[in-house]
């Protein structure tokens, strides 16, 4: 993976990317990894140690990141008329993205981290699940826009808090 190659030259922080399970894979010794299954591992209480590298770093912080993400997602109930189960899907998708942002922010608190990559799958999850639930297209669009606004505000706050010294690339291509 690109972060394993980069870890040969500098300390890296990788959050939520496919292929990060188990997080202690070779090449990650020079940084931090939060697996794409970290939220699921925390919710189920199984595989938590394998979801983070170093595991002691992630295990000690993961529950805090998830509690903060859940609280923020629950605080935004929105007014969109979603089908049954739609609001829960919107909360979970938002919690996943907010969790990832808090995790990468904690990793970047280490001044030796030179490269970070975070994948935010929340909008893709939300779009797919709302389609499966038969959501009205306009209600789904409103839910997706609300999700994007909340993630954008959180990302802006993180950049204002000190992550602004880093380059931020956003891939907004959706399939």
pLDDT above 90 (res 91): yes
The 10s digit of each residue's pLDDT in 47-57 is: 999 999 899 99
Question: What whole-number distance in Å separates Cα of residue 92 and Cα of residue 159?
Answer: 24
Tokens of 26: 């070779």
pLDDT above 70 (res 67): yes
The sign of the torsion formed by the CA atoms of 120, 31, 6, 106 equals: positive
Tell me the C-alpha to C-alpha distance, in Å, between residue 152 and each of 93, 94, 108, 155: 14, 11, 18, 5
pLDDT of residue 30: 73
Residues 98-115 have a mean pLDDT of 90
pLDDT above 70 (res 61): yes
pLDDT above 90 (res 93): yes
Cis? peptide before 34, omega within 30° of 0 = no
The 10s digit of each residue's pLDDT in 127-164 is: 999 999 999 999 999 999 999 999 999 988 888 887 65
Look at residue 64 and give its three-state secondary structure.
helix
Tokens of 7: 């870890």
One-character DSSP codes across 74-139:
HH------PPTTHHHHHHHHHHHHHHHHHHHHHHHTSTTEEEEEE---HHHHHHHHHHHTT--HHH
Question: What whole-number distance in Å separates Cα of residue 112 and Cα of residue 119?
Answer: 21
pLDDT of residue 29: 52
Name the residue among 85, 92, 107, 83 with its Cα closest to residue 20. Answer: 107
Look up the pTM and report it.
Answer: 0.88
The 10s digit of each residue's pLDDT in 119-128 is: 999 999 999 9
The 10s digit of each residue's pLDDT in 4-35 is: 776 677 788 899 988 888 887 555 457 899 99
Check if the beta carbon of residue 19 is closer than 8 Å to that of residue 1: yes
pLDDT above 60 (res 97): yes
Tokens of 28: 């990650």
Using pLDDT thresholds of 50, 70 and 90, give the confidence band for residue 165.
low
């Amino acid at each position: 993976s690109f972060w394993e190659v980069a870890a040969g030259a500098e300390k890296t922080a990788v959050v939520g990317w496919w292929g990060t399970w188990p997080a202690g894979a070779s090449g990650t010794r020079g940084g931090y990894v939060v697996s794409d299954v970290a939220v699921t591992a925390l919710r189920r209480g199984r595989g938590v140690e394998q979801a983070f590298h170093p595991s002691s770093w992630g295990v000690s912080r993961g529950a805090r990141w998830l509690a903060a993400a859940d609280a923020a997602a629950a605080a935004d109930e929105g007014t969109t008329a979603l089908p049954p189960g739609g609001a829960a899907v919107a909360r979970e998708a938002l919690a996943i993205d907010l969790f990832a942002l808090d995790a990468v922010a904690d990793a970047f608190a280490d001044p030796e981290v030179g490269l970070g990559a975070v994948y935010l799958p929340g909008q893709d999850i939300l779009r797919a699940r709302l389609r499966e639930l038969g959501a009205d297209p306009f209600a789904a669009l409103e839910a997706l826009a609300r999700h994007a606004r909340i993630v954008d505000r959180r990302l802006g706050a993180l950049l204002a808090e000190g992550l602004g010294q880093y380059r931020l690339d956003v891939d907004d291509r959706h399939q």
